[in-house]
Amino acid sequence: MGNITITVDATAAAWARRAAGRQGKSVSRFIGELLTEHMEREAGYQAAMRRFFADSPVQFDADCPRPTRESLHERAGLR
């Protein structure tokens, strides 16, 4: 564990105290968990982006006609 010092405005500090109190936690633990959750969410997003961009784009066969926008978005029950 490491210690950091942060400065926030009075409104944010009051909100943090109330939110931590509702969860039965100290402000320090509450903020630490918020930061950890944010870090993990961002890491997951970055991993998903790497996986997405690692795939090759889909190549259409030149002899096969491409689908139309209407056929791709057809909603038979709504028309």
49 or 63, greater pLDDT: 49
To which H or E segment does residue 57 belong? none
- Residue 59: pLDDT band with limits 50, 70, 90: confident
Give the mean pLDDT of the chain: 89
Q: What is the pTM of this model?
A: 0.62
7-22 pLDDT per residue, tens: 999 999 999 999 999 9
Q: Quick one: what percent of the chain has pLDDT higher than 70? A: 94
Distance CA 79, CA 77 (A): 6
Q: Are 19 and 30 in contact (CB under 8 A)?
A: yes
From the CB of residue 9, how many other CB atoms can be counted at a distance below 10 Å?
A: 8
pLDDT value of residue 64: 82
